[in-house]
């Protein structure tokens, strides 16, 4: 599809019909028509997530599709919890997108390092140093421009360097990270360095492949290293669903209940022949309303999908089964060899999304050993909305079984939206603190600026709770 204009039409048997003409010359524009209605024209200044949110917000008003969750206020859960902002502005021009997926680790008596996601920035994974968790300085990058591992995909709007995490293991600093391979799938790599500021040398190949993200390193009570990661099936099933509905548009009525969700699904299946040609993140931007339509009532949607699978045959039944399975996000844990060069044994599923607040996603795991137990914090729901939050679980062993809290431990407030991807470190006061990212209200999304926030926490009786703050993350005073 290299023509300047693409004409798309809803296939027969769909409950609604759209005609879409996409003009790709200059700023991207869409002309959307319905039978008996005048054509409506929409323009995108860029092909970024905010631009698509503008498009889908306008379509929701004009043609009755679903309003994007990113354009709605946060749900009332455990919001309003005070969090201390630590970094709310870029401290260097090379930090393009803020402090997403923050890993804060203590590397000395009064020394901490912060590593953050860099997306498609030329310099991958900023490293920031602090002696008090308040004042920070940029010390360098894990992979400066031109020194990324050979297996990783680079380039503006192509690369995705996500969720770096560093830990001291023996005499070295081990670092795990997510990046796209040359085939655009997501993989997890490992690197090592003698200093927390690098230089870091990455392995020649990723250690886990097949659309996986958000690696976490854990050294258990016996000194054995583990790798924890998320299977990113939530990034796979939307494409499969859109393709399936494009071939079977009559199934829209069987899968979706609300009229706005039916119309959203029909628009997505109409756009699919064009969407399948896009880069992975732009595919997500275009399919996000379809994702939200399915996740709005995930249990019911999954049950209706299973009803369709029972009627289908052959390859079609297998395709539906794949979509159905991918609606569950799975977190895995597996032993690493003593030198961290290979995985040992078999991976174990330690967590799945099974709480309503999580919707179709859990990710961003961090495990802390305390009181003889393994306390797991994780993020749930869509990172680019105010519905994102942090959950908690506890187990007696790295592989579980983990007992989850029923509701989010931290969720959006009026001041900060989408708190997520936690890490835990000891502050200058000797207490545990949780460190996380969040958006300013109304600006959540991919490549939007994320601030670094913190709060003191305690682990007692298998439960993690916030300590009401009387000072900062570095200088909070003990209660009592």
What secondary structure does DSSP assign to 339-365, as a single string?
A: TSSSEEEEEEEEEE--SGGGTT-EEEE
> Which residues sit opposite 173 in a β-bridge?
168, 193
* Residue 227 near residue 208 (C-beta atoms within 8 A): yes
DSSP 98: B
What is the distance between the alpha carbons of residues 409 and 388, in angstroms, rounded to a whole number?
11
pLDDT tens track for 280-314: 999 999 999 999 999 999 999 999 999 999 999 99
SS3 state of residue 430: coil
Measured at the alpha carbon of residue 297, what is the angle toward residues 305 and 352, in degrees to the nearest 5? 80
Domain boundaries, the chain: 84-234+327-466
Sign (positive/negative) of CA torsion 194, 196, 197, 201? positive
SS3 state of residue 279: coil
Please tell me the pTM assigned to this model.
0.92
Considering only CA atoms, which of 387, 470, 392, 388 is closest in space to residue 424? 392
Tokens representing residue 86 in the block:
């630590």
CATH code for residues 84-234+327-466: 2.115.10.20
Write out the chain's pLDDT in tens, 480 residues.
456 889 999 999 999 999 999 997 778 899 999 999 999 999 998 899 999 999 999 999 999 999 999 998 887 655 446 799 999 999 999 999 999 999 999 999 999 999 999 999 999 999 999 999 999 999 999 999 999 999 999 999 999 999 999 999 999 999 999 999 999 999 999 999 999 999 999 999 999 999 999 999 999 999 999 999 999 999 899 999 999 999 999 999 999 999 999 999 999 999 999 999 999 999 999 999 999 999 999 999 999 999 999 999 999 999 999 999 999 999 999 999 999 999 999 999 999 999 999 999 999 999 999 989 999 999 999 999 999 999 999 999 999 999 999 999 999 998 999 999 999 999 989 999 999 999 999 888 999 999 999 999 999 888 899 987 554 454 433 222
């Amino acid at each position: 599809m290299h023509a300047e204009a693409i004409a798309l039409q809803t296939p027969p048997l769909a409950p609604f019909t759209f005609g879409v003409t996409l003009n790709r010359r200059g700023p991207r524009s869409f002309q959307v028509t319905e039978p008996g209605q005048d054509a409506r024209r929409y323009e995108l200044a860029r092909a970024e997530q905010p631009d698509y949110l503008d498009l889908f917000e306008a379509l929701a008003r004009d043609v009755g599709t679903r309003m994007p969750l990113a354009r709605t206020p946060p749900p009332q859960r455990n919001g309003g919890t005070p969090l201390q902002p630590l970094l709310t502005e870029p401290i260097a021009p090379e930090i393009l997108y803020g402090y997403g997926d923050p890993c804060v680790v203590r590397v000395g008596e009064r020394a901490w390092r912060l590593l953050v996601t860099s997306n498609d920035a030329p310099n991958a994974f900023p490293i920031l140093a602090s002696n008090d968790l308040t004042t920070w300085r940029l010390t360098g990058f894990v992979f400066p421009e031109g020194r990324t591992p050979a297996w990783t995909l680079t380039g503006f709007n192509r690369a995705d360097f996500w969720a770096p995490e560093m830990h001291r293991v023996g005499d070295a600093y081990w670092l795990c990270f997510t990046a796209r391979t040359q085939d655009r799938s997501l993989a997890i790599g490992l690197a090592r360095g003698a200093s927390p500021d690098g230089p870091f040398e990455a392995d020649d190949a990723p250690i886990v492949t097949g659309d996986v993200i958000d690696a976490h390193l854990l050294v258990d009570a016996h000194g054995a290293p583990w790798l924890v990661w998320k299977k990113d099936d939530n990034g796979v099933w939307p494409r499969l669903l859109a393709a399936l509905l494009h071939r079977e548009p009559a199934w829209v009525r069987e899968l979706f209940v609300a009229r706005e969700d039916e119309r959203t699904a029909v628009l997505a299946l109409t756009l699919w022949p064009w969407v399948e040609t896009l880069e992975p993140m732009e595919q997500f931007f275009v399919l996000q309303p379809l994702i939200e339509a399915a996740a709005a009532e995930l249990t019911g949607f999954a049950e209706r999908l299973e009803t369709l699978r029972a009627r289908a045959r052959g390859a079609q039944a297998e395709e539906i089964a794949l979509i159905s399975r991918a609606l569950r996000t799975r977190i895995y844990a597996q032993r690493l060899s003593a030198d961290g060069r290979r995985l040992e044994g078999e991976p174990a599923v330690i967590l799945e999304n099974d709480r309503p607040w999580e919707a179709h996603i859990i990710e961003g795991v961090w495990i802390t050993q305390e009181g003889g137990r393994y306390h797991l914090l994780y993020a749930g729901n869509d990172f680019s909305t105010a519905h994102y939050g942090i959950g908690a679980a506890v187990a007696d062993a790295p592989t579980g079984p983990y007992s989850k809290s029923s509701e989010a431990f931290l969720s959006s407030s009026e001041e900060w939206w989408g708190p997520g991807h936690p890490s835990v470190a000891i502050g200058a006061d000797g207490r545990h603190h949780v460190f996380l990212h969040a958006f300013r209200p109304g600006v959540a999304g991919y490549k939007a600026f994320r601030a670094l926030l913190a709060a003191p926490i305690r682990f007692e009786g298998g439960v993690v709770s916030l300590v009401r703050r009387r000072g900062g993350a570095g200088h909070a005073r003990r209660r009592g």
